[in-house]
Amino acid sequence: MLKYIGKRLLLIIPVILGVSFIIFLIMDLTPGDPAMMILGEGARPEEYAALREEMGLNDPFFVRYFRYISNAIKGDFGSSYRTKIPVFQEIATRLPTTLRLALTSMLIAVILGLPLGVLSAVKQYTAADNVALGFSLMLTSMPGFWFAMMLILLFSLRWGLLPSLGIASWRHFILPALAASSSTMASLLRMTRSTMLEVIRQDYIRTARAKGARERKVIFGHALRNALLPVVTIIGVNFGFALGGTIVIEQVFAIPGLGQLMINSIRSKDVPMVIASVLFAAIIASVINLIVDIVYSYIDPRLKSQYEITKVKKVAS
């Protein structure tokens, strides 16, 4: 298992290099000159030329890219073009807010989506099933920014129950987390229902019921555990999407997180800030996928036995 984890960690390296190259290329091709944005249109030509030379913008593309990567390996991600603050310091300040929002949204999605999916499968073709499927379809059909604005309209402006802007307290995270969790909740509900329907029709489930096992033990002790593999995949993949999906949510709720930082940096073509923000999000998403694969072996004993069989064969050879 440790060898497998080591291999997966090594595979993150080419992923990060690929992401960094693509983002660096996109930022280089987008219109706008960082030096002009920093100095303004009223700058003199000699000041403009001197700043470009100082920032290394006159060098070829690959020279600038490899210089950035070599500095990043040393832990130097550069300084923001806008604020002159080191990129790592700016991201370290905002990343916890984005992670907190993403984790809260995923927790809400799991707490609501998983039980509703199980209920929908167990009560197939009943009123409860129809309500759960209708709820899932409604969440899937609503854009996240529209759902966020409706939550603000109802809970903040009309009823005055929850704040709509900022992160001053835990109450400020409720509406953003609900808005960010809507699509993931719908996906979890549908996936849980589908996998549970497939599992509860298996022979071993009928055997457990024939032996007199309680229905609760059959559903949660046997069926749900075997239905969790694709559900865990959905959770892992959607957590990666949540890091990027919070960009819109942070804009709507004026949350000073990584998403809002990326939007402002893209508008001002703050290349070091954009690249570093995307890289940190990619690293977190890769680590989450690794954790999902590790969780697989604990959910499904067959996968754990495969690791053990492989290890025994290598020792024997």
DSSP codes, 67-130: HHHHHHHTT---B-TTT--BHHHHHHHHHHHHHHHHHHHHHHHHHHHHHHHHHHHHTTTSHHHH
Check residue 314 and give its pLDDT. 52
Check residue 1 and give its pLDDT. 61
* Side chain identity at residue 90, one-letter code: E
Beta bridge partners of residue 86, listed in sequence order: 79
Number of C-beta neighbours around residue 173 at 10 A: 20
Check residue 23 and give its pLDDT. 86
Check residue 4 and give its pLDDT. 66
Coil, strand or helix: which one is 174? Answer: helix
Give average pLDDT by consecutive 10-residue segment, the chain, 317 residues.
Answer: 72 84 86 76 78 81 88 84 83 85 87 88 87 87 84 88 81 86 86 87 81 80 78 77 72 82 81 85 80 72 54 51
Check residue 301 and give its pLDDT. 59
Q: What angle in degrees, to the nearest 10, is found between the helix axes of 87-122 and 271-299?
A: 40
Check residue 157 and give its pLDDT. 87
CATH of 93-257, picked from 3.40.50.300, 3.40.50.2000, 3.10.20.90, 1.10.3720.10, is 1.10.3720.10
Check residue 308 and give its pLDDT. 53
